[in-house]
Structure 1
Amino acid sequence: MRDLRSVCVYCGSSGRVSDRFKDAARALGGELAANGIALVYGGGRVGLMGLTADASLDGGGQVVGIIPSHIRDMEVDHPGLTELHVVDSMHTRKMMMFDRSDAFVILPGGLGTLDEMFEIITWRQLGIHDKPVVLVNIDGYWDRLLAMIDGMIEAGFAQPAHKDLFKVVAGIDDVVDALRHEPTPVIEPQTKWL
């Protein structure tokens, strides 16, 4: 069983989404706090990001936000975090989030969430890390993405075992257990193209 002290959460910054996604964000923040796991995230107070952070703080959890200065200048940073780090770029932000986290959880989100998700999964494929990655498929939100990955496999651009680089769960109740019990990847970097 993996020891989890901190988990990075990637999720949407939009508040114009269904309550089912908002409820999932709140539930995840509360679940992390209840398990004594610090939340590492992008530092915003808006959308699912802010809801996850607020729920974790309300549950007595530690929350570490990492936000680039150009986004902070738009006044979207969260003022009540345990730690808020203002950094010089998105690249610095993503690397610091990676360094501060033992695992990764992806909630529904938009283009930024996809960017973060594919980067962290690709890094695992390349052997840069072996930290667990869990995709939370609330109400089938990620079904089309998963179908696209199946299409990549069918077309020969990925291997079936690449789907083992991340775990898919249907709801928040399954997240912590999935993180603690996820196996390491089965594809070694030197064989990924074979």
Structure 2
Amino acid sequence: MNNINKFTVYLGSSGRCRPVFKETAKILGHLIGECGKSLIYGGMDAGLMGIVANNALSSGAHVTGIIPKKLKDSERIHPSLSETILVPDLWERKLKMFNRADAIIGLAGGFGTIDEVLEALYWANLGAHAKPIILVNTDNYWDEFIAYLGTLPDLSREHLIVVDNVADIFDALQNWTPPAITGDTNNMPHFENEILGDTDAPIIFEDASIRDGYFLATALGLKQLDKHQRPIGLLNDRGQFDHLIRWIDQAQKECFITERCTQLFSVGQSLADLQKKMDMQKDIHIDLQNEKWGPSETKTHIEIHEIE
């Protein structure tokens, strides 16, 4: 625990979630600052992101925000961080957030949050790092997602720590033994280029695996941000995606995923059924500012316009 000083926190930008999730972000921010640790996060002032940053800052933490220049959420950059890093794209943001971390914490969030968590787990599975990945299961929010992880036959859970409360994080880390790094620490594969390639071909997932789970979460996250409109389908012929689908329903009810975000993909019990549903998928354009983020968590915010 003595060598864990920098915490990268993945969490939702939703300002419309229940108070229990906001309180968790508040407590985590205070805890990081009071323990003399540093916070690294996605740089926004909206939702849980703004809450964790504000409370870490008020408790004396060094807070680094990493945010892409060309994403819509760059218009909601937090104005008072210790350090703000602008990067070219979403992939560079995720990589820099990961590389700066000694440990990863996942609070409640939506497609972007599970993309980041699954990415860290996938790289761990490749033996590329020995960083702990902590899920804070506030009010059982992650139950179905954790159950989904349990169905992935190729997932090693050596890096994963699950706690019910933020206060349990440091005790859990004290009792955690880092696994050996067995792979190439420079091998951090990602799927953005494959997803955003010059094609409209549908993306179909048939098997539950850590690789495909990460691929799926990235595809959904990018589609939510209007980076592509490729049809996405889950062939759920063996119930292999049941837990993940139930988690998505839970995330939508808790306002971490908008109702229209649940229309970004289709589910079918057979390939013919799935293909028919995917043929009917319409382009979805999510207004994150009005549908998800809610009001700023800071009194003022900086607007950074898209840079060509």
TM-score above 0.5, yes or no = yes
Cα separation, 1, equivalents of 2:134 and 2:170: 9
1:86 to 1:74, Cα distance in 2 relative to 1, 3 A: closer
Aligned to 2:293: none
Q: Which amino acid aligns with 1:52?
A: V
Q: Which stretch of the first structure deviates more once superposed, 174-183 or 51-60?
A: 174-183
Query: Does the residue aligned with 2:75 lie in a helix, a strand or coil?
Result: coil
Q: TM-score, normalised by structure 1?
A: 0.88
Q: CA RMSD in A?
A: 1.9
Deviation of 1:181 (Å): 3.5
Aligned to 1:5: 5
Aligned to 2:122: 122
Q: Is the 8 A contact 1:133 1:179 kept in 2?
A: no
Cα separation, 1, equivalents of 2:2 and 2:60: 22
Q: Is the 8 A contact 2:43 2:66 kept in 1?
A: yes
Aligned to 1:104: 104
Structure with the higher helix share, 1 or 2:
1
Residues 6-85 of structure 1: matches in 2 within 5 Å?
Answer: 6-71=6-71, 74-85=74-85
Q: Which amino acid aligns with 2:46?
A: V
Q: Is the 8 A contact 1:103 1:179 kept in 2?
A: no
Aligned to 1:134: 134
Q: Which amino acid aligns with 2:146?
A: L
Q: Is the 8 A contact 1:21 1:138 kept in 2?
A: yes
Q: Find out whether 1:164 has 2:164 as its counterpart.
A: no
Q: Is the 8 A contact 1:103 1:133 kept in 2?
A: yes
Unaligned runs of 5+ in 1: none
Deviation of 1:70 (Å): 1.7
Q: Find out whether 1:183 has 2:177 as its counterpart.
A: yes
- State the Cα deviation string for residues 147-191 of structure 1 (Å, max 9, x = none): 112233xxxx235xx22320000001011232344222379559x
1:181 to 1:3, Cα distance in 2 relative to 1, 3 A: farther
Query: Does the residue aligned with 2:105 lie in a helix, a strand or coil?
Result: strand
Unaligned runs of 5+ in 2: 185-308
Cα separation, 2, equivalents of 1:5 and 1:73: 27
Q: Is the 8 A contact 2:71 2:89 kept in 1?
A: no
Identity of aligned residues (%): 40
1:170 to 1:186, Cα distance in 2 relative to 1, 3 A: farther
Query: Does the residue aligned with 2:76 lie in a helix, a strand or coil?
Result: coil
